[in-house]
Structure 1
Amino acid sequence: MRTVQHLKARGKQAAVWLVVILLVMIGGRIIYGNEDNQDTLVFLKTSLTNENNTPATYMKPETALDSDEVQGRESLSESMGFLLLYAVEADDESLFEEQYQLLLDYFMDEEGLIYWKIDSSGHPEVPVNALVDDLRIVKALYAAGEQWNKPKYTEAAAQAGHYVSRSLTYQSTLVDYSDQSSGGTAHSLTLSYIDVEGIELLQQQGHINQDVYDTTIDVLEKAETKNSFYPKTFDISKGTFAYDEEINMIDQMITANNRLQLGIPSNALISFIKEEMEQDGVLYGRYTPSDYEPVVDYESPAVYGFLIMYAIELKDKELAMQAYDRMTAFRSNHVSYRGGYSIHEGNTHIFDNLVPLLAVEKLKHTGWM
């Protein structure tokens, strides 16, 4: 015969489980939001990591027709930058140290050059670096050095920053890339490459002078939208901006985030984005600027990830969560790909996984989920 105390205990237990169920149903973001990045990290480790532990760009080892394009299992400094930034954001020193060692072993030479891509076995194919990737890595290294009091991270940041200052300027302006084999540099600057925080660090640490800082930032400040969209590049020799005939929304969102670092909002672009999401519930990957019509039928989780980060800076919770809900619709629950984003025919691009990884981590710190 059950006692009164036993029945009361069972009642309390049932009440606890009821609260848990309600939390899952009503505030599912709270519970799943703390697990989804772990799922994504496991997916990255199992499906997008080469035997030498470098991050692979695609799941499948396909070969592109153009050697300048990224091959299937090649590894990019872009991926290293996002992984390092995520580790800092997540306060994961172990992950950062692992990626730091890979950076030194495979990507960064003794001069401070960071190869923009290496093959799956870790060999650099061309001695070319990319400004945007270098800036992300430099930012992450300096932040880690301060966060964990590790001088070796700061020293590596200084080495890479010094190489940027030596190799990536033209007419006192930072440029897209340099090629060590030819000794040449680009004469153009892509607006999505102008990472203001990274460039400010270069200036503060003495790697670039005030003139280089001012002329580079001036490009971003002077860029004007045409039909709500920013130009793609700036020709330094001609002093002119170039606008794409098809708008890449990843470029647009990164440029908007860069300008927001200067305190400049992108009202026209964000108005278009909000209207598009309210009307269709989605934001496509490419648009025609003349009529605002999508020219592709696909979406990119990375676009939503950058939109989340933009909304966080604006303290726009509604926009951030709207972008989060749409972004996570592309996150797989399949047993073979759990945590991975945009899996199509057993393949995905690592960029569409790393940007959401960082965005979700930043979103957690807002307390909005």
Structure 2
Amino acid sequence: MKRKMHLVFIFVISLLLVGCAKEEIDVKIPADKSNFIQRTDYGNYSIETNKLRDFIEKKMLTKSGLYTNSKQQSFKENNARGHELLSESSGMWLEYLVYNRRYKEFRQFYAATKKTFDLKTQFSYRYIPSKHKKFPVNATLDDLRIIKALQMYSEKTGNKKYQKEAATRFAMLKKNTMSRGKIASFYDTDTKKQSSESALAYYDFPVLKYFENNKQNRKMYRQQLAVVQNGYLGDAFPLYASNYNWQSKTYSNDDLNTSEVMETFLHLSQVGKLKKVSLNWLKRQIKNNTLYNIYSINGSIVSRSHSAGSYAVAAMVFANEHDEKMYKRAMKLVWKYQVLDKDSDIYGGIGIERQNEAYSYNNLTTLLAANY
């Protein structure tokens, strides 16, 4: 009997704590417009874009999300591949739908995104349809991207419901992943723990700056900006460390994934904080077609392979810096990866023709870059 009463007591306390946790979420809807939609009209690639869009819609897009790879692949616990779905891809597709005023499809696809990935306070980063498995962890950048798309839709349509949805999702995400300048790379809803590391590429400054709209939060935004800026490796190799560890208070010495470096460059550029020396370094790589996939922190090349996605994000950086010439130069390199053989299964896609593979990240970043 005592055990029974004890369990009831715990249950009641748990309910009270859940109720309190919900009340702690302070949803503030910013009054100003966000200006998230980047438009320069530099992109004039209707032929290439139409082929790419058709490929994505026919070979990657499903009712639940987009395939990570158009090619079916076997399951691996640590790597998303094949016909698995990522919230990263869904966020980018939502952005594309807003850019192209496909508003009905946006509403339908966001509803599908919630059904596939929603963990109530955040979005799962990965879903495996064959196993009906939704991972209990998010990737904070992917959540921010979806939140940005919601705000973009709200501003283009005047729909207050989606404005509130964006602000609410940000408030919930912030509660579990953000504090004193920290942005945890992920939060696990099963263990209730956040990562001790922050990926510098995950600091989406336009979104953070927009939603942190009071005195206390503006201070946190400045702290967030400092975390990334202090990860600068130096003028000799003007890139940024990949992660900051909040327990050891140190930046990582890990090799640099260039797609993440480009995301960091883009976020800094969008708030006017990208260093001139970094931009000049990027220009040299584009001019020489030497934007390689992996570098060590001292600048040596670890992998000489290339990624269309990295070139596409580089093009976005140049568009944001109002450098039309370099934007077009970067996009010219991107389009080299488009498969033009009509007999290929990945015709129109950005991929590796001989392997019959096309990854969602490369295809969607290209699609977005072409809209600038």
TM-score range, shorter chain: 0.7 to 0.9
Q: Structure 2 stretches of 5 or more lacking a match? A: 1-40
For 1:305, which of 312, 317, 321 is the aligned residue? Answer: 312
Match of 2:60 in 1: 48
Q: Is the 8 A contact 1:191 1:255 kept in 2?
A: yes
Match of 2:36 in 1: none
State how far apart, in whole Å, the 2-side matches of 1:238 and 1:214 are.
21
For 1:90, which of 100, 120, 126 is the aligned residue? Answer: 100
Question: What is the CA-CA distance between 1:62 and the residue it aligns to?
Answer: 1.4
Pairing of 1:66-145 with structure 2 (within 5 A): 67-109=77-119, 111-120=120-129, 123-145=132-154
Residues 282 and 224 (structure 1 numbering): CA distance in 2 closer, same or farther, change over 3 Å?
Answer: closer
State how far apart, in whole Å, the 1-side matches of 2:42 and 2:227 are.
41
Q: Is the 8 A contact 1:230 1:243 kept in 2?
A: no
State TM-score, norm by structure 1: 0.81
RCO comparison, higher one (Cα < 8 Å, 6+): 2
Q: Is the 8 A contact 1:250 1:302 kept in 2?
A: yes
> Is 2:331 aligned against 1:321?
no
> Is 2:65 aligned against 1:57?
no
Pairing of 1:25-36 with structure 2 (within 5 A): 33-36=45-48
State how far apart, in whole Å, the 2-side matches of 1:232 and 1:271 are.
20
State how far apart, in whole Å, the 1-side matches of 2:125 and 2:52 are.
24
Identity across the alignment (%): 21
State how far apart, in whole Å, the 1-side matches of 2:292 and 2:333 are.
12
Question: What is the CA-CA distance between 1:173 and the residue it aligns to?
Answer: 2.2
How big is each residue's C-alpha offset from its partner over 1:118-161, in whole Å with a ceiling of 9 and x where there is no partner?
11259343211121011111111011012112233223213321
For 1:223, which of 224, 228, 231 is the aligned residue? Answer: 231
How big is each residue's C-alpha offset from its partner over 1:212-263, in whole Å with a ceiling of 9 and x where there is no partner?
333222212333224222111111233222232x332111111111111231
State how far apart, in whole Å, the 2-side matches of 1:259 and 1:328 are.
25
Pairing of 1:322-341 with structure 2 (within 5 A): 322-335=329-342, 336-341=345-350
Q: Is the 8 A contact 1:112 1:159 kept in 2?
A: no
Question: What is the CA-CA distance between 1:304 and the residue it aligns to?
Answer: 0.9
Question: What is the CA-CA distance between 1:188 and the residue it aligns to?
Answer: 1.7
For 2:220, which of 212, 223, 244 is the aligned residue? Answer: 212
Question: What is the CA-CA distance between 1:117 and the residue it aligns to?
Answer: 0.9
Q: Is the 8 A contact 1:113 1:129 kept in 2?
A: yes
Q: Is the 8 A contact 2:292 2:301 kept in 1?
A: yes
Q: Is the 8 A contact 2:138 2:186 kept in 1?
A: yes
Q: Is the 8 A contact 1:282 1:326 kept in 2?
A: no
State how far apart, in whole Å, the 2-side matches of 1:284 and 1:172 are.
31
What amino acid is the match of 1:38? Answer: N
Q: Structure 1 stretches of 5 or more lacking a match? A: 1-28, 363-369
How big is each residue's C-alpha offset from its partner over 1:330-363, in whole Å with a ceiling of 9 and x where there is no partner?
111122423200234111211010001000011x
Pairing of 1:170-189 with structure 2 (within 5 A): 170=179, 173-189=182-198
State how far apart, in whole Å, the 2-side matches of 1:257 and 1:31 are.
17
Match of 2:28 in 1: none
1:129 match: secondary structure:
coil
Runs of 4+ in 1 over 4 A off after TM superposition: 29-32
Question: What is the CA-CA distance between 1:192 and the residue it aligns to?
Answer: 0.3
Question: What is the CA-CA distance between 1:45 and the residue it aligns to?
Answer: 1.6
- What count of residue pairs does the alignment treat as equivalent? 327
2:129 match: secondary structure:
coil
